[in-house]
Amino acid sequence: MGQNKPCAKFMTPCSGKSNPGQSCSPTPARALLLIFAKEPVPGQVKTRLSPPLSPAQAAELYRCFLADVMEEMARLSGVDLAVAHDPAPARDFFAALAPPGTRLVPQARGNLGRRLKEAVDWGFSLGYPAVLVRNSDSPDLPGEFVREGAEALLAGRADAVLGPCPDGGYYLVGLRQPCPELFQQVAWSTPAVLQQTLERAGEVGLQVHLLPPWPDIDDLAGLRRFARRPHSPPAAGWRSHAWLDEHFFSPLPESAGTAPE
C-alpha cells in the first residue's frame, strides 16, 4: 500500500461569529467518554467468575460494576458521558441506570475492534475534538486517570491515549481524530492487545500517551485482588466491594491452580 501516513487530523471549527482577521473564541472543548457496557443478564456477563459465583450472582455483581463506573465518571469535569451498550434492546435499562444527560448508542456488530472503531467514529460525528472509550470491568478505576487522558488529547499533547491492563490489554483508548487502523490487525482478548495496538499507532504516526496501569476483573484471581483493596464510600468501586462483603463471603476462596499473590 506504499508509505504509511498519519491518520487524517480532525479539525474542530470555531463556533459563533468573529471579526475578519481575528481568531474566534469557541467555547471550551469537551471530550466524550464512552463506557462500553453489557446488560447484566445471568449467564452472559462475568462468566469466568462462575463458579464460585452463580450466574445470577455474577450478573448482580456486574450491575454493581456498572453503577460504580458511572458514578465515578459522572464526577469528571470537562467530559461528556455516553454508554455504548450491548445488546441494542438494553437501551431502556441503561437509560434508567446512567447519570442524567448521558448519551446512549448501541454497540456495532462484529469483533471488539469493529465495535470500538464504530463507537469512536460515532463520537467524532457529534463534533467532539477528543473521544475516549473505557471498559466496565474496572469498577475502581480512578477518575483522575480518565481525566489525564482527556486533558492530554484536548491539549494536543498526544494523538492517542491508552490505559494498560496488567494482562496485556487496555482499560481505555482515546483519540483526537478517527483512526480505523488502530483497531485492525489486533488479536483481541489475548495478552498481545496493547503491544499490537502500540505497533498500529506507530505505523500510522500517532503520538501515544500511556496512562498508569490498572487491572480489570475477568477471573477469580482478579476479583480476589479487588476484594483486598479498600473501597470505602465515596471511593470508586465501593458499591461492588460492599456487595462482595454482604452477599458473598470474604476472603474469596482460593481456587486450584491459582498462584499465590
pLDDT cut 70: percent of the chain above it: 84
Who has greater pLDDT, 258 or 149?
A: 149
Within a domain: 260: no
For residue 160, is pLDDT > 90?
yes
In contact, 162 and 173? CB cutoff 8 Å: yes
Number of domains in the chain: 1
- pLDDT (0 to 100) of residue 211: 98
The better pLDDT of the pair 109, 261 is held by: 109
Domain with residue 225: its CATH number is: 3.90.550.10
Q: Is residue 17 part of a domain?
A: no
Per-residue pLDDT band for 216 (boundaries 50, 70, 90) equals very high
With respect to residue 9, please indicate whether it lies within any of the assigned structural domains. Answer: no
State which residues form the domain around 181. Answer: 31-247
- The arithmetic mean of pLDDT across residues 180-195, rounded, is 97
pLDDT score for 247: 82
Residue 257 placed within a domain: no
Q: What is the pLDDT of residue 257?
A: 37
CB atoms within 10 A of CB 145: 20
Minimal CA–CA distance to 102: which of 151, 148, 67, 64? Answer: 67
**pLDDT tens digits for 22-79?**
333 334 689 999 999 999 999 999 999 999 999 999 999 999 999 999 999 999 999 9
Torsion of CA 142, 146, 149, 150, to 10 degrees: -150
Percent of the chain that is helix, strand, coil (3-state, to 5)? 35, 15, 50
At residue 132, the 3 state secondary structure works out as strand
Paired sense of beta strands 160-164 and 131-134, if any:
unpaired
Phi/psi at 250 (5° precision): -135, 135
Does pLDDT of 250 surpass 70? no
Residue 261 in domain: no
Cα–Cα distance, 14 to 18 (Å, whole number): 9
Residue 19 clears pLDDT 80, i.e. is over it: no
Give the predicted TM-score (pTM) of the model: 0.86
User: Is 1 a member of any domain?
Assistant: no
Model confidence pLDDT, tens digit, residues 99-144 = 999 999 999 999 999 999 999 999 999 999 999 999 999 999 999 9
- What's the mean per-residue pLDDT of the chain? 88
